[in-house]
Chain A
């Protein structure tokens, strides 16, 4: 079982490398957009699934990243620098928002982030001289590294894939570091975690800020992918969509956000033949999923697997412990 995992992981990456070969532009674009939303959903999963905080501003952090990257690259600054600024800015805004919100009861982060998302939308729409207002910004150049450009869709897909793998590894490392274990301890039993000397507020704040920074990175990739950004791409409804990805996939599972992003991005494409009804079918499916499996798709899969897999049972004779 444990031997299988690295093999499956390699297979997965190989599938991602092979996926766009021979596909049309639109499919390559959709796949790249899936990778980007996986990054942002991974960030939210850290906040939600591991630190147990509801953030309703993940799209706003994508917006911060996208606008900073767009403005910097349009003014001739290299993407490499822009992405660092984007990530740092989202991290800083996360700290600023989270610090006062987490001072009080824990569900207030949800309300503060909800308000922040709507406020940011208004600022992006109204400050026309900087952000282009509701017309948005157009024509962000795609980055090039050491003479290799990512102008073609397929090249940009591979570039996104590299960023995705790097950020997934970073997330893997964070979750396995003492910090990550602390996040999980907080979610499982905050009182116990505190009694073991963890600073609950500082840890939660850090989880939220790191999650926001992932949003910033996703935004920095979104801007050159779409090459057109406007305020409504980062409105509250998109934050809810990202939240949907995390929960539908399975919050608190490492691969939950990727699965959720796939469902949220790809399912509408698959249901396109139903024309106007696809959102109706889609939202019904989500409600049904939530009613029957609140732990999302991965949770449902695990439940199903447990039913068929022979149970790993401890030796019966050791069950009571060694008795002498």
Chain B
């Protein structure tokens, strides 16, 4: 039982970080029909911005994180939208898919070439203490990750539902033409979405890198997991991406312990196939979702 609790907690902690990436993924899809195949690399990159801040400029951890956030907003948010997504949107989804695949490759190879191919240790954000709760050892790090991601997603949800800008963003995603007529600056709202995605990626990066170490190839698995989480939860719902992320985290951990370590990464995929066959709109999704 103690072991079970331990597995669930660390699964939820990992899953909440996946959820951050998955929520960003869903937002981009809603706002601009961008299937971002570079999402994993979006989570991989900010950690290296932090490391550059610390090693090259000699900054302490938190100013480096601020620097990474600023760089991510600029590069992964503004530049990604202006230079890549915007010119390609009129040509449909496929060229954009290819471009994001290449972008992921570009980011991965650039980090490998300009920073290093080995896994880099990343400073811990939370103290390394481990608590004993009902016989289960739960680390401060897991709790911290879970709390921070939940806060981030919770405040995003509040922002989208309770503020004027947030509701304008939702309107732009649901029906750009009508939103435009009603006086919403749709282009600006789409830009906000890209900025939020970059911000979420930075948070996810800072949380996950102390666990997995910062490595150029981290994006491969992260991107796939975010993708699966978004589809499992429901492609057109933030709540869906959240549930999907948590579910994948827990299932991943459970199957590693109770089923087979070799086929650990097969379980989320089987879940994905089952969901597509049985409930194609996702667990929480509504079926009116747009087609590609």
Question: Is B269 in contact with chain A by the CB < 8 A criterion?
Answer: yes
Known: A107-B291, A286-B98. A115 touches B273 (CB 8 A): yes
Q: How far does the Cβ of B255 sit from chain A's closest Cβ, in whole Å? A: 12
Return A109 CB to nearest CB of chain B, in Å: 10
1/0 per residue, CB under 8 A from A, across B206-248: the answer is 0000000000000010001001100100000000000000000
Considering only residues 95-135 of chain A, those with a C-beta below 8 Å from chain B are 100-101, 104-108, 110-112, 114-116, 118-119, 122, 125-126
- Shortest distance in angstroms between A104's beta carbon and chain B's nearest beta carbon? 4
B14 to chain A, nearest CB (A): 18
Q: Does B63 contact A (CB under 8 A)?
A: no
Q: Is the CB of A119 within 8 A of B109?
A: no
Give B106-129 as 1s and 0s: 1 = Cβ < 8 Å from A's Cβ atoms. Answer: 100110110000000000000000
Task: Check B276 against A248 for contact (C-beta < 8 Å).
Answer: no
Known: A118-B224, A283-B106. A291 touches B99 (CB 8 A): yes
Contact in complex: B276, A111 (CB < 8 Å) = yes
Using Cβ atoms and an 8 Å threshold, which residues of chain A touch B113? 276-277, 280
> Among A159-167, A169-177, A239-247, which stretch is in contact with chain B?
A239-247
Q: B148 to nearest A CB, angstroms?
A: 29
Q: Are B276 and A106 in contact (CB under 8 A)?
A: no
How far is A282 from B222 in the complex, measured between Cα atoms in Å? 23
A292 to B277, alpha carbons, bound, how many Å?
37
- Classify chain B: how many residues form its interface, as a range: 35 or more
The answer to whether B292 has its CB under 8 Å from any CB of chain A is: yes
Q: Is A25 interfacial (CB-CB < 8 Å)? A: no
Give the residues in chain A near B92, CB-CB below 8 Å: 294
Total interface residues in chain A, CB < 8 Å: 40
Binary CB contact string for chain B from 74 to 99 against chain A (1 if under 8 A, 0 otherwise): 00000000011001100111111111
CB neighbours (8 Å) of B88 from chain A are: 290-291, 294
**Distance to closest chain A CB from B116 (angstroms):** 12
Contact of B265 among A108, A122, A244 (CB under 8 A): A122
Beta-carbon contact of B84 and A291 below 8 Å: yes
CA distance A294 to B276 in the complex (A): 29
Taking CB atoms and an 8 Å cut-off, the chain B residues in 238-292 that contact chain A are: 262-263, 265-266, 269-270, 272-273, 276-277, 280, 289, 291-292
- Per-residue CB contact flags for chain A residues 43-57 toward chain B (1 = under 8 Å, else 0) read 000001000001000
Q: What's the least CB distance linking B32 to chain A, in Å?
A: 15
Residues of B within 8 A of A125 (CB): 262
Considering the chains assembled together, what is the distance between the CA atoms of A247 and B292 in angstroms?
17
Q: How far is the CB of B89 from chain A (nearest CB, A)?
A: 10
B277-A119 in contact (CB<8A): no
B95, A294: Cβ atoms under 8 Å?
Answer: yes
Say whether B102 faces chain A, with CB atoms less than 8 Å apart: yes
Within 8 A of A (CB), among B19-64: 37
CB neighbours (8 Å) of A101 from chain B are: 276
Q: Is A284 an interface residue (CB 8 A)?
A: yes
In the complex, what distance in Å separates the CA atom of A101 from the CA atom of B92?
21
Q: Complex Cα distance A283/B37, Å?
A: 14
Residues of B within 8 Å of A244, CB to CB, are 98, 101-102
Q: Determine whether the beta carbon of A54 is less than 8 Å from that of B270.
A: no
With A276-B113, A283-B103 as known contacts, state yes or no: A122 contacts B231, CB within 8 Å: no
Which residues of chain B are within 8 angstroms of A286 by Cβ–Cβ distance? 98-99, 102
- Chain A, interface SS category: helix
Say whether B97 contacts A106, CB under 8 Å: no
Partner of A115 from B96, B98, B269 at Cβ < 8 Å: B269
Q: A48 to chain B: which residues have CB within 8 Å?
A: 94
| Chain A residues, Cβ within 8 Å of B95 | 247, 290, 294
Check if A81 is an interface residue, CB within 8 A of chain B. no
* Contact A122 B277, beta carbon cutoff 8 Å: no
Answer yes or no: A279 CB below 8 A from chain B CBs. yes
CA distance A290 to B34 in the complex (A): 14
Q: In the complex the two chains form, is B276's CB within 8 Å of A108's CB?
A: yes
Q: Return the chain A residue nearest B90 by Cβ.
A: A294
| A280 lies within 8 A of B109 (CB) | yes
Known: A54-B94, A244-B102, A280-B109. A112 touches B273 (CB 8 A): yes
Asked if B105 is an interface residue, CB under 8 A from chain A, the answer is: yes
The reply to whether A112 and B276 form a contact with Cβ atoms under 8 Å apart is yes
In the complex, which residues 62-116 of chain A have their Cβ closer than 8 Å to any Cβ of chain B? 100-101, 104-108, 110-112, 114-116
B109 and A283: CB pair below 8 A? yes
When chains A and B are docked, how far (Å) is the Cα of A118 from the Cα of B265? 9
Name the 7 nearest CB pairs between A and B, nearest first.
A294-B95, A107-B292, A294-B91, A283-B106, A104-B280, A286-B102, A290-B99
A-B contact pairs, 27 of them (CB 8 A): A54-B292, A104-B280, A106-B291, A108-B280, A111-B272, A115-B269, A115-B270, A115-B272, A118-B224, A119-B269, A236-B224, A243-B98, A243-B101, A247-B94, A247-B95, A247-B98, A248-B98, A277-B113, A279-B106, A280-B110, A282-B105, A284-B102, A287-B102, A287-B103, A290-B88, A290-B96, A291-B83
Question: What 17 additional pairs, Cβ within 8 angstroms, besides A48-B94, A240-B101, A286-B102?
Answer: A54-B97, A105-B280, A108-B276, A111-B272, A115-B269, A119-B270, A122-B263, A126-B263, A243-B97, A244-B102, A251-B94, A276-B112, A280-B110, A286-B98, A286-B99, A290-B95, A290-B98
Residues on A lying within 8 angstroms of B by beta carbon are: 48, 54, 100-101, 104-108, 110-112, 114-116, 118-119, 122, 125-126, 236-237, 240, 243-244, 247-248, 251, 276-277, 279-280, 282-284, 286-287, 290-291, 294
